[in-house]
Structure 1
Amino acid sequence: MHIRHLPYPDPGTPDVRSGHHFLLWLGRQQLGGQAKSLAWGTLHLLSVAALPLAVGLAVQAVVDRSGERLALAGALMALLGAGATVGDTMLHRTAITNWVTAAARVQQLLARRTASLGATLTQRVAAGEVVAVSTGDIEKVGWCVESASRFSAALLVSLSVCAGLIAYEPELGGLVAAGLLVLTLVILPMLPRATRRADLQREKAGRATELAADTVAGLRVLRGIGGEQLFLERYRKASQEVRGSAVRTARMWALIEAVQVALPGLLLIAVIWQGTRMTTDGRLAVGELVTVYGAVTFLLFPLRMFQEFAMAYSFSRPSATRAARVLALHHATEARTAAAPGTAAALRPEGDLYDPASGVLAAAGQLTAVVCGDADAAGVLADRLGGHALAPSPDGEEVLLGGVALDDAPLDVARTAVLVQDKDPVLLSGTLEELMDVPSSGEVAVRDALEAAQCGDVLAALAQGSPGTDADPLRVRITERGRSLSGGQRQRLALARSLVTDPAVLVLDEPTSAVDSHTESRIATALHRIRAGRTTVVLTSSPLVLDCADQVLLVQDGRVTASGPHRKLLHTDADYRAVVTRQTDEELTERTGSA
């Protein structure tokens, strides 16, 4: 896989049992790239490792005054130098390719999972964690995948050099092998502690990132209640915990690095001391001593790669665990992507929308209002009617549209047929014209939708606040998430966007909760007019909206308990009256009696 071929046609199905399994799965997906890096890394390191042999031959040739052997040694050094250069260049190229392609694979997987989960993602995992996974964590995972091949090449060449030293000079080779064994036994027990500290650091950093993201998202509210200082202190405390954890992690790695410098240095001194004795005794030639010395010096280089891989794995494992946790999330209707052929055609958007679990029946072409009395329950019901439920119904009953289960329809077909606007809609940054440029039937013009949503004053305010747009409000830029707008303004623009889409079934969860009663009344009337002949479900307890509905349903404890026109239910159903008017029977009797 080359960078120019990205994105992947299919990034695959990841193993999300744990961070460790996820990293192994990523490595298996890039066996070709890993093999290339291993081959080029082996060429590079073998060329560097063999240079001491060429130098030793050259020194011995000088001692023996042999010009022919000196020329051969020079040619060998040139050849090894070319091999080291080519190997290093290609190793860097293939290793970076592995890094980028691994990161791209994870990014694609996260993007697909995010798109599949939709609005339910942030209900199951903090937005800050999603940001952390899709930014810094991806880089850490790519680093681990990239360093794996170089670690493998270093390990392979190091074992080859040790075996070659033992065969070349058994006494010194045995001393070097014993020294490396001691170094391994000293460092290996330190790695788990360093890994745990790195895990803790990443965990604390993730919490700090989540806190920062959540604080920024709620900054407007915090300023309104004067809570900026409180959250500033919380973030300062979390930041200091990250700093302290990072210092402890750095100390551990510094200790490991110090051991990697001290023990090989002592080994090198021992080799020189023993080699000098053997040379003075005539048991070892000068050139052979130079060769052994150069080989031991070379072994310090792979040790750096071992440390880098250990660090990469330590820092990437928590990142991989977080990524696996997000990728492991599944939609309640995940199986719909593999629906049987013909299901899409069988889905009839013009039919009734029926939820057997609650008994909610929205007649085709009518405006149906649903009263829950519980905002959370209303949100859950809205998600279920749109096929966005976090979990399937306990009894397995599925929402039906035109007699066909939404869960059996492909995801894109189901979402085209039913559109859900929740109580906290998101406005993406861009111009108002771009905001309204959404997939639609073309039957509802943008101007008509804005008028129906009573956005006249919003457009006037936007045009007045942006003089460089030639008084055209559609050219005004909307800030991120519409933070420059009030709650009512954002709500009305989101409603206009939903009306432009003109879906077969539109589900609105408290679409007028942030507007005044006069505007709410006009929106209710216009909504009934512009959605004439289309199925609309409004979850609300506003009498102004309920009075404009063709049918009103009262849902209590997850089931429909009453249905009928708004005015009739007011007079005949005490539970409905209590929810809509916020009055008990006693209060209503007292009010009637006093009147």
Structure 2
Amino acid sequence: MQISDLPYPDPGVPDARSGPRLLLWLGRNQLGGQLKALGWGLLHFCGIAGLPFAVGLGVEAVVDHDGTRLLEAGGLLALAGAAIAVGDTLLHRAAVTNWITAAARVQQLLARKTAELGSALTRRVAAGEVVAVSTSDVEKIGWFVEAVSRFLAAAVAVLVICVGLLFHSPALGLVVALGTPLLALAALPLLPHATRRADVQREKAGRATELAADTVAGLRVLRGIGGEELFLGRYREASQEVRAAAVHSARMWALISAVQVLLPGALLVTVVWYGAALVQDGRIAVGELVTVFSAVATMLYPLRHFEEIAMAYSFSRPSAKRAARVLSLTRTEAGGADGTHGTDGADRADRMDGRDGPAAVAAPPGPGGDLYDPETGLLARAGEFTAVVCGDPDLAGRLAERLGGHPAEAGDSPSVLLGGVALDELELAAARTLVLVQDKEPVLLSGTLRELLDVPASGQVVAGAALAAARCGDVLDALLQGAADGVGDPMDARITERGRSLSGGQRQRLALARSLVTDPEVLVLDEPTSAVDSHTEARIAAGVAELRRGRTTVVLASSPLLLDRADRVVLVHEGTAAASGTHRELLHGDPRYRAVVTRETDEEQRRDPARPGLVRQLEEELEEQLDEQLQEELTEIEESA
């Protein structure tokens, strides 16, 4: 895999049982790149290992006044220099490729997991942690994957130098061979302390990132209530904690670096002192001493990679642990329709390793199936416009997510059924083709309006019809007004990130149009008109009802204008479908429904049965007259449009 080939056609199924297993899985999946980097690393470091021997041969040739051997030594030096240059260049290229491709693989896996879980992800993992994992953590994971091949090449080079010195100068070579393992392993006792401090630093940095993300997301609200300075003060405190933890961790790494400098220096002094004594005794030649001294000096460079691999692992292990935690989450963690629970990360990894068979996937249901929620008893009949009224807005949001196949909590409720088939047993692509849920606060991505509406769809609803049903005429005018010169089609006008240049109602209507274009078999809308005025809301209700005629539509709302357009209204009271019927039937026959829709207080409900019958009759007649007048106005508006 080259950088130009990214992204991966399929990043694979990760082993997310733990951080080290994830790192091992990444290394196995980049075995070709690792072997390539190892080969170039061996060429580079063996060139470095050959320098001392070429220098020693040259010194001996000068002492012996042997021109031929001097030329041979020069040739060896040139060959070693070429090996160092070529090996270093291509090693760097291969290592950086391994780094970037490993980071890109993890990012693809995280993006795929985010798309799979949808809004359920941020309920299980903080949004700030997801951001930290997908940015700084993937870089540290890639660093370790990249450093492994260079470390192995450096280890081989150190071994070659030690063995070569044993044959070239046994007396001094033995000293180097005994001292080198001490140099390589001297930092091991300090690594657990450094790792713990690095973990603390990462944990504090993750909390600071979460706090920053939450503060930025709610900055407008914080300014409105005067809490901006309070939260900024909290972030300053968290930032200072991260700084203190980083300094605390850096001190340990500085100690490890000092050990890596002090001990090789001590070995070098020992070699020079002992070698000088051997030269004076005539036991070795000057060239041998120069060779050993140069070998020890050059060996300091590959030995640094022992420190680097230790540091890379210490930093990447907690990062890989956090990434594995996110990647181990599954869409089917909630119980199925039969009460069974979904799989966890270990089960998924077992299936990936072949220790278990593939999970059973249900066949998609045929068209025209009812949508049924066993937990609440809510039934949305096929082809009908069903409105759902919940007294608790949070319950409505959770219900909308459940209807889309995203259970709120792991293992606590059965799956929603579509045509008798559990949604969480379907392939993800099939489930999302059948059921689409529009959140209460949908997000608009930057780009042109044409790109916004270019989504996977049935092809039965064109963009113009969806925009008309969502009453986006004024939105198109606003986009065209703010478009760049030369743009004459509102479909080519650009929408800023999250639609910041539009009002809340305009963003809501564009999101509704995007949902209508997809034309799923079941469309679930959570408060789709909460940010528009009553006049526009009435027109939207009529447009959606007309466009979705014959298709299953579920709207969670409490607006009478929407409820009156529904074929059937269901009241969900205290988590259970308590009543159903038309809006007018429930309004006059169910006090609980009337209390939610009309915002009637308990005192008014207690007084309601005692109202004079004539007043009640007059109120009903007035309501009917208003409804008839509203219908006439809507008809006129539709005809003029």
Question: Normalised by the size of structure 1, how large is the TM-score?
Answer: 0.92
1:128 pairs with 2:128 = yes
Matches within 5 A, 1:48-87: 48-87=48-87
Q: How many Å separate the matches in 2 of 1:144 and 1:276? A: 41
1:523 pairs with 2:535 = no
Q: What is aligned with 2:392?
A: 374
SS of the aligned residue for 2:11 comes to: coil
Closer, same or farther: CA 253–486 of 1 in aligned 2, 3 Å: same
Q: What is aligned with 1:266?
A: 266
2:448 to 413, 424, 431: 431
Q: Which piece of structure 1 moves more, 298-307 or 446-455?
A: 446-455
Q: What is aligned with 2:406?
A: 388
Q: How many Å separate the matches in 1 of 2:332 and 2:595? A: 34
Q: Which piece of structure 1 moves more, 579-588 or 317-326?
A: 579-588
CA contact (8 A) 1:133 1:323 kept: yes
CA contact (8 A) 2:184 2:306 kept: no
Matches within 5 A, 1:175-324: 175-184=175-184, 186-324=186-324
Cα distance per residue 1:456-484 (max 9 Å; x no partner)? 34344444444746675444322211233
Q: What is aligned with 1:495?
A: 512
1:444 to 461, 468, 486: 461
Q: What is aligned with 1:580?
A: 597
Amino acid at match of 1:559: T
Amino acid at match of 1:580: V
SS of the aligned residue for 1:112 comes to: helix
1:401 pairs with 2:446 = no
Q: What is aligned with 2:90?
A: 90
2:383 to 333, 350, 365: 365
Q: Which piece of structure 1 moves more, 424-433 or 63-72?
A: 63-72
CA contact (8 A) 1:339 1:408 kept: no
Q: How many Å separate the matches in 2 of 1:395 and 1:325? A: 23
SS of the aligned residue for 2:23 comes to: helix
Q: What is aligned with 2:17?
A: 17
Q: Which piece of structure 1 moves more, 493-502 or 417-426?
A: 493-502
CA contact (8 A) 2:332 2:425 kept: no
CA contact (8 A) 2:361 2:427 kept: no
CA contact (8 A) 1:574 1:585 kept: no
Closer, same or farther: CA 24–470 of 1 in aligned 2, 3 Å: closer
CA contact (8 A) 1:353 1:401 kept: yes
Closer, same or farther: CA 452–339 of 1 in aligned 2, 3 Å: farther
1:552 pairs with 2:538 = no
Q: How many Å separate the matches in 2 of 1:458 and 1:489? A: 6
1:343 to 358, 363, 368: 363
Q: How many Å separate the matches in 2 of 1:510 and 1:101? A: 42
Aligned length: 592
CA contact (8 A) 2:55 2:290 kept: yes
SS of the aligned residue for 1:189 comes to: helix
The alpha carbon displacement at 1:258 in A equals 2.1
Q: What is aligned with 1:164?
A: 164
Q: How many Å separate the matches in 2 of 1:144 and 1:52? A: 30
CA contact (8 A) 1:52 1:291 kept: yes
Matches within 5 A, 1:438-477: 438-466=455-483, 468=485, 472-477=489-494
CA contact (8 A) 2:487 2:493 kept: no
Q: How many Å separate the matches in 2 of 1:33 and 1:365? A: 54
Cα distance per residue 1:362-407 (max 9 Å; x no partner)? 12221111112112221222122222224576464x4333344333
Closer, same or farther: CA 569–22 of 1 in aligned 2, 3 Å: same
Closer, same or farther: CA 447–43 of 1 in aligned 2, 3 Å: closer
Closer, same or farther: CA 276–393 of 1 in aligned 2, 3 Å: closer
Cα distance per residue 1:77-99 (max 9 Å; x no partner)? 23333333332233222222221
Closer, same or farther: CA 83–434 of 1 in aligned 2, 3 Å: closer
CA contact (8 A) 1:137 1:320 kept: yes
Amino acid at match of 1:546: L
| Structure 1 unpaired stretches of 5+ | none
Q: How many Å separate the matches in 2 of 1:234 and 1:211? A: 8
2:525 to 473, 496, 508: 508
Q: How many Å separate the matches in 1 of 2:222 and 2:397? A: 24
Q: Which piece of structure 1 moves more, 516-525 or 57-66?
A: 516-525
Q: What is aligned with 1:533?
A: 550
The alpha carbon displacement at 1:523 in A equals 2.3
Amino acid at match of 2:384: Q
Q: How many Å separate the matches in 1 of 2:453 and 2:287? A: 79
SS of the aligned residue for 1:319 comes to: helix
The alpha carbon displacement at 1:584 in A equals 4.8
Closer, same or farther: CA 225–341 of 1 in aligned 2, 3 Å: closer
Q: How many Å separate the matches in 2 of 1:512 and 1:199? A: 46
Question: Normalised by the size of structure 2, how large is the TM-score?
Answer: 0.86
Q: How many Å separate the matches in 1 of 2:282 and 2:218? A: 80
Amino acid at match of 1:29: N
Q: How many Å separate the matches in 2 of 1:418 and 1:27? A: 38
Cα distance per residue 1:30-77 (max 9 Å; x no partner)? 222222222221222122112211211221122122233223323332
Amino acid at match of 2:279: T
CA contact (8 A) 2:445 2:499 kept: yes
Closer, same or farther: CA 56–308 of 1 in aligned 2, 3 Å: same
Q: How many Å separate the matches in 1 of 2:184 and 2:606? A: 86
CA contact (8 A) 1:103 1:139 kept: yes
Amino acid at match of 1:453: A
Cα distance per residue 1:511-554 (max 9 Å; x no partner)? 12222333323322332222222111111122222222111111
Q: Which piece of structure 1 moves more, 43-52 or 224-233?
A: 224-233
Q: How many Å separate the matches in 2 of 1:465 and 1:537? A: 35
The alpha carbon displacement at 1:184 in A equals 4.4
Closer, same or farther: CA 74–589 of 1 in aligned 2, 3 Å: closer
The alpha carbon displacement at 1:149 in A equals 0.8
SS of the aligned residue for 2:577 comes to: strand
Identity over aligned residues, as a percent? 67
Q: How many Å separate the matches in 1 of 2:298 and 2:605? A: 92
The alpha carbon displacement at 1:148 in A equals 0.6
Q: Which piece of structure 1 moves more, 177-186 or 69-78?
A: 177-186
Q: How many Å separate the matches in 1 of 2:89 and 2:474? A: 63
Q: How many Å separate the matches in 2 of 1:102 and 1:340? A: 31
Amino acid at match of 1:359: G
CA contact (8 A) 2:387 2:566 kept: yes
SS of the aligned residue for 2:442 comes to: coil
The alpha carbon displacement at 1:485 in A equals 2.8
Q: How many Å separate the matches in 1 of 2:247 and 2:422? A: 56
The alpha carbon displacement at 1:133 in A equals 1.9
Q: Which piece of structure 1 moves more, 32-41 or 536-545?
A: 32-41
Q: How many Å separate the matches in 2 of 1:443 and 1:128? A: 39
Q: CA RMSD in A?
A: 2.7
CA contact (8 A) 1:464 1:471 kept: no
Closer, same or farther: CA 475–223 of 1 in aligned 2, 3 Å: farther
CA contact (8 A) 1:349 1:505 kept: no
